[in-house]
């Protein structure tokens, strides 16, 4: 069940260089390596910390939402948002990425929506509220159903997806990501 207090205060905002340090605090709370929903796979932590590299990365990530821009062949248009609490808007709680369509990798592993909530903000309804907002974004793009995935052993994420009507299609072994649960959420029925 959604934490009603969390639901009312959670917002998704467009990435901005103004919150550079807040983003670093959030992202680095995960440690090094992959951060679900952060879209940081194309930039190193050292580059993230550099203001100029960070500004270029933010500009690129924001541009990916623009369907008129041609992207590299291995990329899809996506809307990257940072998750904040409206009572504390200078602190980033996590990140969520809404991919406008699926390529083969996203169909098998990543899905339409990937998200991550910083460890100190988990189990407070943040992911549930943020996923609900991302589903609204997906609907506004005209998507009728979305694929959302999580690791097989990530029970909290599975519960978040199921809260929003996620229908488990399967659990499959992937070459680089282990066992992955794949859920479809129907946006027409929701």
Instruction: Confirm whether 119 is domain-assigned.
Output: yes
- Per residue of the chain (190 residues), give pLDDT as tens: 344 444 779 999 999 999 999 999 999 998 876 788 898 888 899 999 999 999 999 999 999 999 999 998 888 999 999 999 999 999 999 999 999 999 999 998 999 999 999 999 999 999 999 999 999 999 999 999 999 999 999 999 999 999 999 999 999 998 888 899 999 999 987 5
Instruction: Confirm whether 138 is domain-assigned.
Output: yes
d(CA 138, CA 1): 22
DSSP collapsed to 3 states, 15-40: CCHHHHHHHHHHHHCCCCCCCCCCCC
Instruction: Confirm whether 105 is domain-assigned.
Output: yes
Instruction: Confirm whether 90 is domain-assigned.
Output: yes
Q: Name the DSSP letter for residue 136.
A: H
Q: How many domains is the chain built from? A: 1
d(CA 124, CA 110): 24
Q: What is the pLDDT of residue 177?
A: 80
190 close to 165: Cβ distance less than 8 angstroms: yes
Residue 55 structural domain: 4-143
Q: What is the pLDDT of residue 3?
A: 42
Q: What is the pTM of this model?
A: 0.91
d(CA 95, CA 108): 21
Q: What is the DSSP string of 65-80?
A: T-TTS---TT---EEE
Angle at 151 between CA 175 and CA 137, to 5 degrees: 110
SS3 52: helix
Instruction: Confirm whether 75 is domain-assigned.
Output: yes
Q: What is the pLDDT of residue 167?
A: 96
d(CA 137, CA 174): 28
Instruction: Confirm whether 160 is domain-assigned.
Output: no
CATH code assigned at 53: 3.40.630.30
């Amino acid at each position: 069940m959604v934490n009603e207090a969390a639901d009312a205060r959670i917002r998704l905002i467009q990435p901005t260089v103004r919150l550079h340090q807040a983003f670093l605090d959030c992202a680095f709370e995960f440690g090094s390596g992959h951060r679900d929903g952060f879209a940081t796979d194309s930039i190193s932590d050292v580059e993230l910390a550099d203001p100029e590299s960070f500004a270029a990365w933010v500009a690129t990530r924001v541009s990916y939402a623009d369907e008129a821009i041609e992207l590299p062949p291995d990329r899809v248009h996506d809307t990257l948002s940072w998750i904040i609490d409206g009572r504390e808007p200078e602190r980033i709680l996590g990140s969520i990425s809404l991919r406008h369509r699926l390529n083969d990798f996203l169909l098998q592993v990543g899905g339409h929506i990937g998200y991550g909530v910083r460890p100190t903000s988990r189990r407070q309804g943040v992911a549930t509220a943020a996923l609900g907002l991302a589903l609204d974004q997906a609907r506004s793009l005209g998507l009728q159903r979305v694929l959302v995935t999580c690791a097989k052993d990530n029970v909290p994420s599975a519960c978040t997806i199921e809260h929003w009507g996620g229908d488990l299609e399967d659990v499959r072994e992937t070459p680089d990501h282990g066992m992955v649960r794949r859920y479809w959420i129907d946006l027409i029925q929701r």
